[in-house]
Amino acid sequence: MQDKWIVGVDLGGTTTKLAFINMDGDIIHKWEIKTDNSDEGKNITINIAKSIDQKLEEVEMTKHKLVGIGMGAPGPVNYDTGVILNAVNLGWRDSFPLRDLLETETSLPVYIDNDANCAALGEMWKGAGNGAKDLVCVTLGTGIGGGVIINGEIVKGVNGAGGEIGHITAIPIGGSQCNCGKKGCIETIASATGIVRQANEELLKEGACGELKEILHQSGAITAKDVMDCVSNRDPLAEKVMENVSFYLGFVLAGIANTLNPEKIVLGVVFQEPGKYC
Amino acid sequence: MQDKWIVGVDLGGTTTKLAFINMDGDIIHKWEIKTDNSDEGKNITINIAKSIDQKLEEVEMTKHKLVGIGMGAPGPVNYDTGVILNAVNLGWRDSFPLRDLLETETSLPVYIDNDANCAALGEMWKGAGNGAKDLVCVTLGTGIGGGVIINGEIVKGVNGAGGEIGHITAIPIGGSQCNCGKKGCIETIASATGIVRQANEELLKEGACGELKEILHQSGAITAKDVMDCVSNRDPLAEKVMENVSFYLGFVLAGIANTLNPEKIVLGVVFQEPGKYC
């Protein structure tokens, strides 16, 4: 058992990242494939199964080397059925039976969870959590994901919606429209989308100038990474946006800290460049 | 074992409530004594031990009937040592070794926890939690206490400060001074003290009138219970205060709900009349 490998799969809307991991959690091989969202997602699990077989062949191993698959899915997961809910937003058919399809295609046992929960477990095991058993992990990307670990276990919540930190209201009166239907969620402020929106609002104001304005002139649009880069260069407009982001993110995280008194809060930022997790 | 009793003790700054409880959690006898805060609290455990002996005699039972004592303490507790921290605020000596003193006085095993955590466990076992294993309990009194239960276990937090819901910031900019040193904590708004402060602010405004103003005229001061009673009678000034209280309390509880997706949030309100827990 000790010399076996686990397959780790991070299923994203655009890219699927895969890895063979040993029982100590060290990455032995890692690679990625494009996520094929066509035909209501029916090729997703077929492609993952094929890719695992190809990689095994490439590294001259057989399937006996593998004990199973652990997968992070981009949405809330029903733990009993292994179904990913709200998958229709990704172009897949709704209530997508991800676990069963992948088990059929690969003949391996599959465990799935929400990707932010997987990030929290990963940070606890091998990352910035560094052994902490009471840990909150927040991932800032296009949206904001969250995973809460208490006594070493993910807080799933009564409906599997534990850790939905992105939809904590940060601005109770007013606030911008969120994809969830509410207004003023922290996701509307501290996600890549929120940062770009606020920067664009500032850039539209009379007298707006500086490095970020230059980038807008040159490329016609700005990204959250542009805003972060401009902060490094002390661009006042970018600094104003990121001060607002930091203020409200701190406000929300402080509330979580008061509720749970966690040992660590781990922030993961994935803006713009896929694969760069800083 | 099944016919034995547990002693439940709710140690308050003014009153200590006691009960004999059977193994099913039913209250068999309950009574209360005054908490003697003199001499740095040295009589507290002596008085509890005496009172238990007296009650046993009164109901014609011996100490063999008792398996142990469970106590809720008005402050954060060190679980390893049974010491209550910050006890100096109550006039007792600091780092009060509550468990050890009470074990010595009674010759019974003693378990202590923060009183809001005990309230949460009690609500899960016999109260409004009704069997829910993921539960948040918030007690609104002079201050605001909180207890968070995940998978049937109290979230203690890395420093024993889990569930400090009263000190979640509700008003991030401005806000009133809290006893904890911060400003804008939900305790400054939704506790009895906070309600009275806001009502007094409204009553000082020019043109303030209505039932609450009458009570102020007659008795020279108002209580949180007066404000609640006036809301029942649709007094507009009292309604304005309680709308603000409800708004911010809802805001804070919604954030907790997003973080944990609990099965139930139980609100306990203890204003003015001791012993009335509604």
Q: Are B233 and B199 in contact (CB under 8 A)?
A: no
Mutate to test the interface with B, among A77, A154, A173, A260 (most CBs of B within 10 A): A260
Per CB distance under 8 Å, which residues of A are interface residues toward B? 132, 134, 146, 148, 150-151, 153, 155-165, 167-169, 172, 247-248, 251-252, 254-256, 258-263
**Do A160 and A97 sit in the same domain of this protein?**
no
**Do A90 and A150 sit in the same domain of this protein?**
no
A151-201 pLDDT, tens digit per residue, is 999 999 988 889 999 999 999 999 999 988 899 999 999 999 999 999 999
pLDDT band for position A85 (50/70/90)?
Answer: confident
Mutate to test the interface with A, among B243, B259, B263, B265 (most CBs of A within 10 A): B259
**Does B96 map to a domain?**
yes
Q: Tell me what the mean pLDDT of segment A117-132 comes to.
A: 90
Which among B150, B76, B75 is positioned nearest to A133, based on CA atoms?
A: B150
CA distance B61 to B52: 11
**Do B263 and B145 sit in the same domain of this protein?**
yes
pLDDT above 60 (res A1)? yes
The amino acid at A26? D
Interchain proximity B259–A168, CB inside 8 Å: yes
Which among B44, B66, B43, B68 is positioned nearest to B55, based on CA atoms?
A: B66
* ipTM surpasses cut 0.95: no
B81-120 pLDDT, tens digit per residue, is 999 887 766 788 888 899 999 999 999 999 999 889 999 9
**Do B146 and B253 sit in the same domain of this protein?**
yes
**Does B126 map to a domain?**
no
pLDDT band for position B139 (50/70/90)?
Answer: very high
Q: How far is A79 from chain B (nearest CA, A)?
A: 15
**Do A76 and A138 sit in the same domain of this protein?**
no
Interchain proximity B158–A259, CB inside 8 Å: no
**Do A60 and A169 sit in the same domain of this protein?**
no
**Do A137 and A247 sit in the same domain of this protein?**
yes
Exposure string of A66-81, with b = 16+ CB inside 10 Å and e = fewer, is beebbbbbbbbbbeee
**Does A52 map to a domain?**
yes
Query: Rounded to two decimals, what is the model's pTM?
Result: 0.87
Interchain proximity B262–A151, CB inside 8 Å: no
Which among A263-277, B126-140, B252-266 has the top mean pLDDT?
B252-266
Q: Residue B56 is part of which domain span?
A: 5-108
Cβ atoms within 10 A of the Cβ of A150, count? 23
Q: How far is B224 from chain A (nearest CA, A)?
A: 25
**Does B54 map to a domain?**
yes
**Does B75 map to a domain?**
yes
DSSP of A93-157, one letter per residue?
PSSB-HHHHHHHHH-S-EEEEEHHHHHHHHHHHHSTTTT-SSEEEEEESSSEEEEEEETTEE---
In the structure encoding, which two tokens stand for residue A2, read together? 């000790």
**Do A140 and A250 sit in the same domain of this protein?**
yes
Q: How far is B78 from chain A (nearest CA, A)?
A: 14
**Do B89 and B167 sit in the same domain of this protein?**
no
CATH code, domain carrying A265: 3.30.420.40
Q: Which helix (H) or strand (E) holds B154?
A: strand B153-154
pLDDT band for position B142 (50/70/90)?
Answer: confident
The total of structural domains in chain A comes to 2
**Does A274 map to a domain?**
no
**Does A239 map to a domain?**
yes
Who among B158, B169, B251 is closest to A254 (CB)?
Answer: B169
CA distance A37 to B136: 40
**CA distances from residue A105 to A51, A57, A64, B150 in whole angstroms, order as listed:** 11, 17, 15, 36
**Does B74 map to a domain?**
yes
Query: How high is the pLDDT of residue A23?
Result: 95
What average pLDDT does chain A have?
92
